[in-house]
């Protein structure tokens, strides 16, 4: 049976940004991408050969866009082995991974230039010292962060005629790396970072670092990305695999660094 994909990453490509920016939605770009991915098919076209996947660079643009649009993701860490009694966890979870959803935002570009990592796609995380995720990290765990577009299934169309909308067809990326605490910020830098983060998380103002009367002690941190694994959707029409981290880090909002991909930025995915 010939299944022809009718929608791809429409919701992701056309979504308004939850963070500090407004992404212009250019239907021409979207349509152009569509035509590229949906070649004219003749009755002789059969099976997956009729489909084309976006290039890996385009997929990486989409992944950076997913980061920019996301406000939370599942952070996986592992319990220390042995589990210290202060962890209040069963000793038998030593070494096991635990995935917990955490607030994130793509705020590097709001930091002063010398701290911004040049806006290279290291997600900003508000870390609560009391939370299991950050206790595990404090005990030596590295982490991964999974971001996905599954909450937006209502905005997606069916991938194939006759198949209901499918979250499995929507993109997700898992970023691997280690947590880096941000150094102390000047009041001005902290205010800018808070502005970015609170756009996505107005409620988090209660537990911002240094918030008076905060129920939990917190600090600003970011995930320094060392690897990125992408599942664009169904494998016949999307890429699945490890991304080129040089490209992940070299993509910017409007364009990418010299020598990275074809020069587009993530707004032009
Ligand atoms: C955490 O990641 C760093 C940098 O990638 C690496 O050097 C270190 O060995 C990792 N630690 C663990 C416990 O895997
Ligand atoms: C990763 O991307 C960079 C920039 O586009 C490119 O120069 C490099 O060859 C790529 N690495 C691999 C292993 O493909």
What does the block give as tokens for 174?
């898992």
CA distance 159 to 187: 48
If you ran DSSP here, which 8-state letter would residue 123 be given? -
Task: Quickly count: other Cβ atoms within 10 Å of residue 82's Cβ.
Answer: 10
Query: What letter would DSSP give residue 225?
Result: E
**Closest ligand 1 atom to the C-alpha of 226?**
5
**Chain-centre distance for alpha carbon 36:** 25
Ligand 1 center from residue 37 Cα (angstroms): 39
Tell me if 226 CB under 6 Å of ligand 1.
Answer: yes
pLDDT at 158 (0 to 100): 82
Distance CA 160, CA 158 (A): 6
Q: What six digits make up the tokens of 27?
A: 């239907």
Hey, whose CA ends up nearest to atom 4 of ligand 2?
A: 260
C-alpha distance from residue 143 to each of 15, 82, 134, 140 (Å): 28, 18, 10, 10
Indicate the SS3 state at residue 6: coil
CA–centroid distance, residue 223 to ligand 1 (Å):
13
d(CA 161, ligand 2 centre) in Å? 36
Ligand 1, atom nearest to 178 Cα: 2
Distance 248 CA to ligand 2 centre (A): 10
- Return the structure tokens found at 151: 């909450």
Top mutation candidate among 247, 251, 265 for ligand 2, by most atoms within 8 Å of CB: 247
Distance of alpha carbon 221 from its chain centroid, rounded? Answer: 16
Residue 196 and residue 20 in contact, taking contact as beta carbons nearer than 8 Å = yes
The answer to whether the CB of 140 is under 6 A from ligand 1 is yes
The angle subtended at Cα 108 by Cα 60 and Cα 202, nearest 5°, is 105
Q: Which of 142, 102, 141 is closest to 124 using CA atoms?
A: 102
Distance 49 CA to ligand 2 centre (A): 26
pLDDT of residue 12: 65
Is residue 103 within 8 Å of residue 71, measured between CB atoms? Answer: yes
Ligand 1 centre distance from Cα of residue 178 (Å): 7
What is the per-residue pLDDT for 156? Answer: 86
User: Which residues have a Cβ under 8 Å from the Cβ of 263 and sit 6 or more positions away?
Assistant: 255, 256
Ligand nearest to the backbone CA of 241:
2
Ligand 1 touching residue 142 (CB < 6 A)? yes
User: Cis ω on the peptide bond leading into residue 82 (within 30° of 0)?
Assistant: yes
Per-run averaged pLDDT (10 residues), the chain, 269 residues: 44 49 31 35 40 92 96 97 92 98 95 94 95 96 96 87 90 98 96 96 92 84 98 94 98 96 94
Q: Which ligand is nearest to the CA of 139?
A: 1
Pocket test for ligand 2, best of 63, 244, 256, 259 (most atoms within 8 A of CB): 244
CA of 53 to the centre of ligand 1 (A): 34
- How is residue 141 written in tokens? 């765990």
pLDDT tens-digit readout, 204-228: 999 999 888 777 889 999 999 999 9
What are the phi and psi torsion angles at 39 (to 5°)? -65, 150
- CATH for the 2-268 domain, from 2.30.110.10, 2.40.50.100, 1.20.140.10, 3.40.50.720: 2.30.110.10
261 lines ligand 2 (CB under 6 A): yes
Our CA dihedral for 133, 244, 255, 150, rounded to 10 degrees, sits at -50
Residue 111: how many CB atoms within 10 A of its CB? 21
């Amino acid at each position: 049976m010939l299944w022809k994909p009718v929608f791809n990453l429409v919701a992701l490509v056309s979504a308004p940004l939850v963070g500090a920016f407004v992404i212009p939605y250019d239907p021409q770009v979207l349509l152009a991408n569509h035509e590229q991915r949906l070649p004219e098919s003749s009755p002789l076209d059969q099976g997956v050969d009729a489909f084309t996947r976006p290039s890996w660079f385009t997929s990486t643009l989409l992944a950076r866009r997913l980061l920019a649009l996301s406000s939370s993701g599942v952070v996986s860490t592992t319990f220390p082995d042995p589990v210290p009694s202060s962890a209040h966890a069963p000793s038998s979870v030593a070494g096991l991974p635990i995935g917990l959803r955490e607030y994130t935002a793509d705020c590097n570009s709001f930091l002063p230039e010398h701290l911004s990592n040049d806006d290279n796609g290291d997600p900003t995380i508000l870390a609560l010292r009391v939370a299991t995720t950050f206790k595990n990290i404090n005990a030596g765990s590295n982490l991964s962060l999974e971001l996905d577009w599954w909450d937006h299934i209502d905005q997606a169309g069916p991938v194939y005629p006759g198949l209901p909308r499918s979250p499995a067809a929507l993109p997700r990326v898992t970023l691997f790396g280690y947590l880096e605490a941000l150094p102390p910020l000047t009041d001005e830098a902290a205010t800018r970072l808070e502005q970015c983060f609170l756009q996505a998380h107005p409620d988090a103002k209660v537990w911002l670092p240094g918030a008076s009367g905060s129920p939990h002690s917190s600090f600003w941190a970011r995930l320094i990305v060392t690897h990125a694994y992408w599942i664009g959707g169904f494998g016949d029409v999307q890429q699945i695999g490890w991304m080129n981290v040089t490209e992940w880090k070299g993509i910017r909002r409007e364009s990418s660094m010299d020598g990275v991909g074809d020069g587009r930025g993530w707004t032009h995915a």
